[in-house]
Amino acid sequence: MAKVVIIDDESAILELMTKLVRSTGHSVTGCLTGTEGMAEIRAQKPELVIVDLRIGDINGLDIVNTCREDFPDTAVIMVTGHGSIETAVEAMRLGAFDYLTKPFDLGDLVKTVKQALQNSPGNPEAPVQPSVMMRTPSSSKLIGHSEAIQKIFEIVRRVADNDSPVLLEGEFGVGKHMVARALHEASRRSAAPFKELQCSAMPEDLLDAELFGHSGNQAGGIFSRANGGTVHLAEVHQLPARIQAQLNSFLDEIQARKRSGRSGLEGVAPDFRLVVSTTTPLEESTTSGRFREDLYYKLSVVPVKIPPLRERREDIRPLVEHILKEMADRSETVAKTIDNNAMSFLEKYAWPGNISELRNAVERACAFSEKDRILPTDLPPKVSQQIEVPTPTGGGTTQLPIGSTLDDFIRAQERVFINETLKYNNGSREKTASMLGVSIATLYRKMGLNVERRTTT
In a domain, 415, yes or no: yes
pLDDT in tens, 213-269: 765 555 568 898 888 899 999 999 999 999 999 999 999 988 887 776 554 444 567
Same-domain status, 95 and 109? yes
Q: Are residues 303 and 171 in the same domain?
A: yes
The domain boundary residue, chosen from 350, 365, 384: 384
Q: Do 398 and 378 lie in a common domain?
A: no
Domains contained in the chain, number: 4
- Which residue, 291, 307, 323, sits at the end of a domain? 307
Q: According to the model, what pLDDT value does residue 264 have?
A: 44
| Residue 129 forms part of a structural domain | no
Do both 320 and 245 map to the same domain? no
Residues 171 and 298 both lie in one domain: yes
Where the chain has pLDDT below 70, the residues are 81-90, 92-93, 103, 105, 120-141, 201, 214-220, 260-268, 386-405, 408, 448-457
Q: Which residue, 100, 118, 136, sits at the end of a domain?
A: 118
Identify the CATH number of the domain in which residue 30 sits.
3.40.50.2300
Per-residue pLDDT at 404: 60
Residues 80 and 190 in one domain: no
Query: Which pLDDT tens digit goes with each residue over 368-397?
Result: 888 889 998 899 888 877 655 565 555 555
Considering the domain architecture, whether residues 326 and 364 belong to the same structural domain is answered as: yes
Between β-strands 386-390 and 397-401, what pairing exists: parallel, antiparallel or unpaired? antiparallel
Residue 126 located in a structural domain: no
Domain assignment of residue 58, yes or no: yes
pLDDT at residue 107, rounded to an integer: 75
Q: What CATH code is carried by the domain that includes residue 445? A: 1.10.10
In a domain, 259, yes or no: yes
- Are 378 and 415 in a shared domain? no
| DSSP code of residue 214 | B
Query: Are both 409 and 266 inside the same structural domain?
Result: no
pLDDT score recorded for residue 240 = 94
Asked whether residue 351 is domain-assigned, the answer is: yes
> Residues 265, 235: one domain?
yes
- Could you tell me if residue 345 is left (phi over 0), alpha (psi between -120 and 50 degrees) or otherwise beta? alpha
Amino acid at position 270, single letter: P
Q: Are residues 214 and 356 in the same domain?
A: no
> Contacts from 22-29 at CB under 8 Å and sequence distance 24+?
24/110, 24/113, 24/114, 25/1, 26/1, 26/2, 26/113, 27/1, 27/2, 27/3, 28/4, 29/3, 29/4, 29/5
Helix, strand, coil share (%) of the chain residues, nearest 5: 50, 15, 35
Q: Which domain holds residue 159?
A: 147-307
Q: Are 287 and 326 in a shared domain?
A: no
Would residue 443 count as lying in a domain? yes
